Structure 1
């Protein structure tokens, strides 16, 4: 009779898995935000004196240079007022000259005892009054000249001018509102509201010196990219309490005038210089109640590595903690694995991380 012995327990067979050896890669992480184009300079043109609008010297939408004549308010009444005050000044000078002569005579008579101190004092008071009248007339003349100059309304900045709100023949003045608006064209600003959470993430991504390191890439509403790169030049000093966001501002060249004041655009904020980060394909990530992890092939077994993740980068994701350069992350065949399961490895095909520069 042959005695059959139980077969020896067999080791489970190793699972064939594809691995990817991770190493730091130079990437330029970017985040998209909605921004609004804003002219660097914007001026509302208003009349500073009241009168009839006599001439308009521009076409709506025209390119304007600093100092260009825009409007002329009927100058006649202001010229007449200026001439009247000029005459008053001449008269005041004559009275002052006569008062000087009278004072000199009173002083000479006082020396010969033919005059009196009271007369001398009276002539001195008259001289001071005459000098005061000259100063008043000079101030009135200066004010009149300023008002006369205000009848010629000139462009204080260069840029595009809007349509005129008033036509020839209408009365205009300081209380009649804006006549037109000029907006500068090159460069332009783009304002980007960033939530506190996203702003803190920017700082965590080695972007503390954002004004020196961040660049702004612009896309239009049709998805097309703008060919000029902006540079962050200002970060607001306080948080908007209504939106809980911080406004960042970039300066963008606008040589061809494609950017328009008030335009909504998509703004990608990215580092001017790439940084080195470890990336893993998102398909390799496994989630459970404790968080996100991957399997790493270590000495022929599947080892669990808990990850601290950063931002997405194409089909991959940035790993801020949990992996080191040279680790073999299992990217194929991990679905059936258990911790410490035996594995045999083969190099998995290298896929583009997406967005890498």
Structure 2
């Protein structure tokens, strides 16, 4: 009996050769959340990177040379002005003082003797008992003795100062650094190459230095000219400062100095603010973010910072169109205000801005928008509802 196997093979062949199923239709519109910008009265400001520095720094040096006898402070300790910090072996200076006192007494005695001789010569010259030349000699001896006494008294004052300078006191109040020399070592003092014993740096108040670019300098100057005060001395001089471990601008400073010309290499203007630091929390050398108010408070539009994209150096937002597609619109931005970014130009209060899936958006692509409240991004990445208008 014969078996035929060609039928299943033909069926399989016909199945593979049958027309494909029609392709699926276009994908559904992508869901996206959109929100109106928040309208709020804010003070326009600019934020700059700065660094804290001490108002003054003293490299403590001795005024006399000698061997270090003792140290009277702890490294890193707060030192008050006038505190004893180092003592140089005073015995050499004590002996020098005794020697200067003896020289001063000798000079006093010589002056007395010279004055007595001059008095006798004066009476004798009137009687023509001595020559005029003898009288002049006695008079010269008195003048010489007076000069010697003045020199001896100056040497005595110097010796007293040397003994006083053997004790090295703090010239300012501040935090002491490490001491660079230990007991028993020789200290060179009283010259340009004197040994630096330690440094003292005050922490209160403290400076915060930052630089402003040329464009902002011009903008700030125009605002000053338009202000009621007018001129360089007018306008707002307070700044807000944040440090690296917090987003909050929790410190306040007062601008007390700005350079009289821009740096030619960087085209920036150096500005300095003085900051109250009574608890000495801030330390010289720390980085800071300095927020400088520019102009008077005004109504501004704010959007979620994460809703803004970057195109090279420009920022843009995705704006919902009437046909439920989006267009890309470049915007000018300002500072962050309670988690929202200030928009100074580019959008209107009635615009709907895409705040989700912005990496997937394309101009003209159909969307399924859902209107939600504008949300603000916290420093830890969480979000909260934007503050009320």
Query: TM-score normalised to the size of structure 1?
Result: 0.73
1:331 aligns with 2:346: no
1:241 aligns with 2:264: yes
Q: Which moved more, 1:231-240 or 1:218-227?
A: 218-227
Q: Cα offset for 1:200? A: 2.3
Question: Partner residue of 1:344?
Answer: none
Q: 2:174 pairs with 159, 182, 185, which one?
A: 159
Question: Partner residue of 2:14?
Answer: none
CA distance in 1, matches of 2:178, 2:52: 20
Q: Which moved more, 1:174-183 or 1:188-197?
A: 174-183
Q: Cα offset for 1:210? A: 7.3
Q: 1:223 pairs with 231, 246, 251, which one?
A: 246
1:275 aligns with 2:297: yes
Cα distance 1:317–1:123, how it changes in 2: closer, same or farther (>3 A)? same
> How many correspondences in the alignment?
306
Q: Cα offset for 1:205? A: 4.8
CA distance in 2, matches of 1:158, 1:259: 16
Cα distance 1:246–1:211, how it changes in 2: closer, same or farther (>3 A)? farther
CA distance in 2, matches of 1:142, 1:112: 43
CA distance in 2, matches of 1:280, 1:247: 30
CA contact (8 A) 2:257 2:273 kept: yes
The superposition leaves residues 183-240 of structure 1 with CA deviations (integer Å, 9 ceiling, x where unpaired) of 1121111111222223223334558657751322222222354633111111111222
Q: Please show how residues 195-206 of structure 1 align to structure 2 within 5 Å.
A: 195-206=213-224
1:39 aligns with 2:49: no
The superposition leaves residues 302-347 of structure 1 with CA deviations (integer Å, 9 ceiling, x where unpaired) of xxxxx9967466444225xx99xxxx865249x99xxxxxxxxxxx
Q: Which moved more, 1:168-177 or 1:250-259?
A: 168-177
Cα distance 1:244–1:332, how it changes in 2: closer, same or farther (>3 A)? closer
CA distance in 2, matches of 1:60, 1:316: 47
Q: Please show how residues 17-166 of structure 1 align to structure 2 within 5 Å.
A: 26-166=41-181
CA distance in 1, matches of 2:173, 2:242: 26
The superposition leaves residues 5-56 of structure 1 with CA deviations (integer Å, 9 ceiling, x where unpaired) of xxxxxxxxxxxxx9x9999x63212222111111112111012211000010
RMSD over aligned CA atoms reads 3.9
Question: Partner residue of 2:344?
Answer: 318
SS of the residue 2:351 aligns to: strand
Question: Partner residue of 1:12?
Answer: none
SS of the residue 2:113 aligns to: helix
CA distance in 2, matches of 1:356, 1:251: 34
The superposition leaves residues 254-296 of structure 1 with CA deviations (integer Å, 9 ceiling, x where unpaired) of 121110011112222225x842255486999xxxxxxx9xx9x
Q: Cα offset for 1:93? A: 0.6
